[in-house]
Structure 1
Amino acid sequence: MTYCVGLFLDRGLVFMSDTRTNAGVDNISTFRKMFTWEKPGDRFICLMNSGNLATTQAVVSLLEERTKPHNDRAPTLFAAPSMFQVARLVADTLKEVISNHAQTGQRADSTFNATLILGGQVAGGPPRLFLIYPEGNFVEAGEDTPFFQIGETKYGRPILVRSFDPAMSFEAAVKLLLVSFDSTVKANLSVGLPFDLQVYESDSLRAGSSTRIEANDPYYQAISDGWGEALKSAFDSLPDFTFDSDPD
């Protein structure tokens, strides 16, 4: 399983993904699920994936291969004129890979499916964030839907829904994501550390801060322990339930 989140802030975009893949409790591996491309001054693109590992790796490999100088296919990630066209290109590549892998053509409910979060900015346009489905269609983040999740979403979603504010700083956004990811890790063994983090500041047209957060990271440990203690304190502060008295 996977957990990836893309946040659309007033200041820019923040991406975080876990790295755990598994085919059973005795077959757990670590694979990167976040990939970036940049042409400083022209564009920055970030892609995160959830689903069949062979499918997602093939999509990334094709996108990467087609950015090379000998590529005779157009457009490419570096040639698409807008983030919308980048999203179309990525969606078409996903459909192509699923169709090639599936025995009877492209089937979104097959074992070869995958879901993607794509975000970034191309010079001349605003930052944009997309959720791309296995069928190749996609939706865009906006005021009503300012973030996207893929993979094991249910445990970390309440944290985001209650606390996300598009005006928050990058620092606050990372703290929020770590709380969301920690809640997911505590509830589901198929999501695990390390986490990959990427920040993009609007109109910079280059990759911002990026890091890998390991299980022994002091800040992550402080967030994990502090969140647990805060929840316990909040629970204890709530009034106890009162049963009706038994009739005489």
Structure 2
Amino acid sequence: MTYCVGMALKDGLMFMSDTRTNAGVDNISTYRKMVIWEVPGQLCLTLLSSGNLATTQAVISQLEERGKAHDDRNPDLLSAPSMFQAARIVAETLHEVVAAHETGGMKADSAFHATLILGGQIAGGPPRLFLIYPEGNFIETTEDSPFFQIGETKYGKPILVRAYDKDLSFEQAMRLLLVSFDSTMKANLGVAPPFDYHFYAADGLSRGRSGRIQGDDPYFNHISEAWGQALKDALRSLPEYSEG
């Protein structure tokens, strides 16, 4: 399973992803689901992935290989003139990989599907954030829908809906996302630390503040415990139900 979030903020874009790929009693593994590409001064792109691991690996590999080949028939992601065109290149690559699996005799409903979040900025344009579907189409954030989630989304969404604000600082966005991820992992064993994060500062055109939150991180554990206690305190403070 997977849980990834991309948020559009006034000061830039915030990304976080978990790393769990299997969650059986004797089959637990991790894999990085965040990729960052940068050409300092020209662009910075962040890709989050959810779904079939072979599919997402193939998409990332193709995008990187095409960048080395300089083939006009297969546009290079790092040469895209705009974020819209970058999203189109990623979407077409995803669709090609999924279609190749399905036409290769590997039929299993949606077993080879994947969903991606692509965000970043290319010189000459503003920061933009896209949700890319396995069918090859995509949508962009709006004022009404300023963040995207992929993977196991339902458990962590309530806190995002209630507490998101476009004016959040990096530190405040980290706190919000860690609560969202903690809520998700408490309800679903398929989501677990380490959590990778990246804050892209608008107009920075290079990698921003990034890192990894381990399961034994003191701040994360404090957030988890404090949030759980705050929920209990809030529930006790509400008036009790009475009939009539």
Match of 2:21 in 1: 21
Match of 1:63 in 2: 63
Question: 1:12·1:201 contact (CA, 8 Å) conserved in 2?
Answer: yes
Number of residue equivalences: 243
5+ long unaligned stretches in structure 2: none
Match of 2:82 in 1: 82
Match of 1:43 in 2: 43
In structure 1, C-alpha distance between the alignment counterparts of 2:130 and 2:106, rounded to whole Å: 21
Match of 2:121 in 1: 121
In structure 1, C-alpha distance between the alignment counterparts of 2:116 and 2:171, rounded to whole Å: 25
TM-score by length of 1: 0.94
Match of 2:153 in 1: 153
Question: Per-residue displacement from partner, 1:77-100 (whole Å, max 9, x unpaired)?
Answer: 111100000000000000111111
Question: 1:118·1:130 contact (CA, 8 Å) conserved in 2?
Answer: yes
Question: Is residue 72 of structure 1 aligned with residue 74 of structure 2?
Answer: no
Match of 2:132 in 1: 132
Match of 1:175 in 2: 175
**Change over 3 Å in CA distance of 1:222–1:23 after alignment to 2:** closer
Q: Return the structure number with greater helix share.
A: 2
- The amino acid that maps onto 2:67 is T
Question: 2:117·2:132 contact (CA, 8 Å) conserved in 1?
Answer: yes
TM-score by length of 2: 0.95
In structure 2, C-alpha distance between the alignment counterparts of 1:36 and 1:108, rounded to whole Å: 31
**Change over 3 Å in CA distance of 1:107–1:160 after alignment to 2:** farther
Match of 2:206 in 1: 206
Please identify the structure whose Cα radius of gyration is greater.
1
Question: 1:197·1:212 contact (CA, 8 Å) conserved in 2?
Answer: yes
Alignment root-mean-square deviation, CA: 1.7
5+ long unaligned stretches in structure 1: none
**Change over 3 Å in CA distance of 1:101–1:201 after alignment to 2:** same
In structure 2, C-alpha distance between the alignment counterparts of 1:184 and 1:43, rounded to whole Å: 32
